[in-house]
A and B are shown apart, each in its own frame.
Chain A
Amino acid sequence: MTDASLNAGSYNIPNQTEFDDYFALLKPRVMSLVVFTASVGMLAAPVGVHPIIAFASILFIAIGAGASGALNMWWDADIDAVMKRTAGRPIPNGKVSPHEARNLGLWLSVFSVGMLAITANFLSAGLLAFTIFFYAVIYTMWLKRWTPQNIVIGGAAGAFPPMIGWVAATGGISVEAVLMFLLIFMWTPPHFWALALFMNEDYSKAGVPMLTVTNGKKSTRLHILVYTLLLAPIAISLSFTQLGGPLYFCASLALNLWFLFGAFKLFARDETIASDENYKLERKFFFFSLVYLFMHFLALLCEAFVDFAFFSWPVVI
């Protein structure tokens, strides 16, 4: 039997798995956000890291995030198949089999945690392992199908990367790392609930108990406003740590005022008008929430490299 005969049976299969399909399992867009926030956490730390160690650490954090994404796609394949937004993912469209996705997720988890332990330190590797466990097991397997508070608690998984970056550089957890964690943790609910407002049909069809499905859109709009109010002091308080400074303070103040204004407009909005306008404002708010987070971390990065304190800046936290 030759290689040719081995191949002969499979090369006519239309859904032959390609490298890109495996890569799509790792949720590249989520990975890019993880790379950015983890890099800021690492670069803003008051400890210099060798460029090769920094690059490798960020790479393994990103692979860990990708591994949890693959495990999420494996477990949620039934939901993904029903939802319009996710129906094109590799498992629902038949490009990758569920057990392949599970195996890829498990092996990449072990690989990324082990390599981060060797490259950086055991604490950061432990945090990465906990993040993967939290996202794949606590959020995906348990919270997502059980409670409308799923993304509130599950948001912790997305909030860990800057803390892992910080720990990889410094070897310890400090108030700055906790505040960066809280910034993403409190930002996650308004971000996803805004998405749920205009994707409600998808979640409803899939039987996912999002707040919009269980409590209705009016209640969701109120929740967005409350969480945005709680988020603002946390985001601004980073200004008064070693990480912050006048540039971050001005950026954070402006972004939070804008975000709060948007949340208030969403709250005051009539559902019929929102539906008639195809949730234009909700989509805008969702898009702005991405800009909001990106700009906060960009301001932190700028503060790390340029000293904007032309006068004495109070560091009280």
Chain B
Amino acid sequence: MALSKSHPQHKRRQRSNIIIGALLLGFVGLVFAITVVKMSNGAMLEAFDHSYRISVTPEQND
């Protein structure tokens, strides 16, 4: 016997699944945010893309 969509059990399971999904998404977001904070250590992040980076380019005195 199939579990119809209108069955209260179906609704309860759906609610649980949504909560678990939201928790997992929240956890992924939190880990991402922690990683960004830890890596930047309070400073701006600067990606390395094989081009000159202003922060590591020595100042040129004229």
Contact = CB atoms under 8 A, between A and B. Distances in A.
A208 B2 CA distance: 47
Main secondary structure of the interface of A (DSSP, over half): helix
Interface in B7-32: 7, 9-10, 12, 15-16, 19-20, 30
Interface stretch (A49-57, A210-218, A285-293): A49-57
A64 B42 CA distance: 28
Given A11-B7, A16-B9, A118-B34, A50 B15 contact: no
Given A52-B37, A56-B30, A18 B2 contact: no
Contact of A56 (B1, B19, B34, B42): B34
B20 A50 contact: no
B37 A4 contact: no
A52 B3 CA distance: 42
Main secondary structure of the interface of B (DSSP, over half): helix
Contact of B34 (A8, A18, A19, A52): A52
Interface residues of B, number: 16
Given A4-B2, A19-B20, 15 more contacts: A4-B1, A4-B3, A8-B1, A11-B3, A11-B10, A18-B15, A19-B15, A19-B16, A19-B19, A50-B42, A52-B33, A52-B34, A53-B37, A56-B33, A119-B34
Interface of B: 1-3, 7, 9-10, 12, 15-16, 19-20, 30, 33-34, 37, 42
Interface of A: 4, 7-8, 11, 16, 18-19, 50, 52-53, 56, 59, 118-119
